[in-house]
Amino acid sequence: MKFKFHMTPVTTALVVSFVGLMALQTDLLGGPLNFFARNDAEVVEPGQDLNPIEQALLNPIKLAPLPPEKIDVETLWLARVIFSESKRVDEQALVAWVVRNRVDSRYRGKRSYEGVALDPHQFSAFSADSTKRAYYSNLTAHSTYPGWQTALRVAHDVRHADGSYRPFSAETRHFYSERSRADSSAPDWAIGRRPVEIGYELVKLDVRRFRFFEGIS
* 162 in a structural domain: yes
Cβ neighbours, 10 Å, residue 110: 18
Cβ(10)–Cβ(16) under 8 Å?
A: no
Question: Residue 173 is inside which H or E element, if any?
Answer: strand 172-176
* 184 in a structural domain: yes
pLDDT interval class at 194 (50, 70, 90):
very high
Question: Residue 175 is inside which H or E element, if any?
Answer: strand 172-176
Q: In sequence order, which residues have a C-beta less than 8 Å from that of residue 60 and are 6 or more positions away?
A: 29, 35, 89, 90, 150
In this predicted structure, the answer to whether residue 151 has a pLDDT above a threshold of 80 is yes
* 135 in a structural domain: yes
* 12 in a structural domain: no
* 28 in a structural domain: no
pLDDT, one tens digit per residue, over 113-129 is 999 999 999 999 999 99
**What pLDDT score does 46 carry?**
58
* 109 in a structural domain: yes
The pTM (predicted TM-score) of the whole model is 0.78
Q: How far is residue 91's CA from residue 75's CA, in Å, rounded to a whole number? A: 17
* 4 in a structural domain: no
Per the structure, the count of domains in the chain is 1
Of the candidate ranges 3-17, 39-53, 168-182, the one whose mean pLDDT is the lowest: 3-17
Which residue, among 54, 42, 47, 31, has the nearest Cα to 200 in the 3D structure?
A: 54
* 19 in a structural domain: no
Range of the domain at 91: 52-214
